[in-house]
Amino acid sequence: MFTSVLMIEKPLTSVDVEFVTTLHGDEGMSFIVLMQPRGDQADVLLRAIDDVALGELKDAAHEGDEPEGKAARGPAEQALEVSLQALRKAGCEAVGQVVEDHPLDKLKAVVDESKADEVIVLTAPHYVEEFFHRDWASRARHKVGVPVLKLFAHSE
């Protein structure tokens, strides 16, 4: 069984599920999903700049309308449950949790405890953070001790 720790920030789409569950061919997959809700880890200004860079001007104007902090906990739990169900439906083992504080510290602990084979960071593009290597994948590569794969999430 191949174990992947999957860091996400929104529910997995069917395309995302197919992508991550077929990365290793026919080998059985087990996922530990860490859902990072919006909050202190994601700055509103940086998200708005990313939206503008992607040509999503309407999204940039509404960044402040998105729930953050404690208000984001409920939607994050729902997104996690939807994602876990989708992974299980695809024939994989899947457990997970919402991570609110210090996601990279939690990631390291989960990788160590589970003896995971890899980390997959599945997020929307974050151009400003990526440019300065401050995105999750770049920072995780220096922390977890296993391969870190960065993938861009799809939207439906």
Confidence (pLDDT) at 26? 86
Alpha carbon distance 136, 156 (integer Å): 23
Confidence (pLDDT) at 101? 77
Confidence (pLDDT) at 152? 79
32 within 8 A of 6, measured Cβ to Cβ = yes
125 within 8 A of 119, measured Cβ to Cβ = no
Alpha carbon distance 91, 83 (integer Å): 13
Confidence (pLDDT) at 35? 94
Tokens of 39: 């909050």
Q: What is the pLDDT along the chain (156 residues), one digit of tens a residue?
A: 999 999 998 899 999 999 999 999 888 999 999 998 765 444 554 555 555 555 555 554 444 445 555 665 788 899 999 999 999 999 999 999 999 777 889 999 999 999 999 999 888 765 555 554 456 667 788 888 999 888 878 665
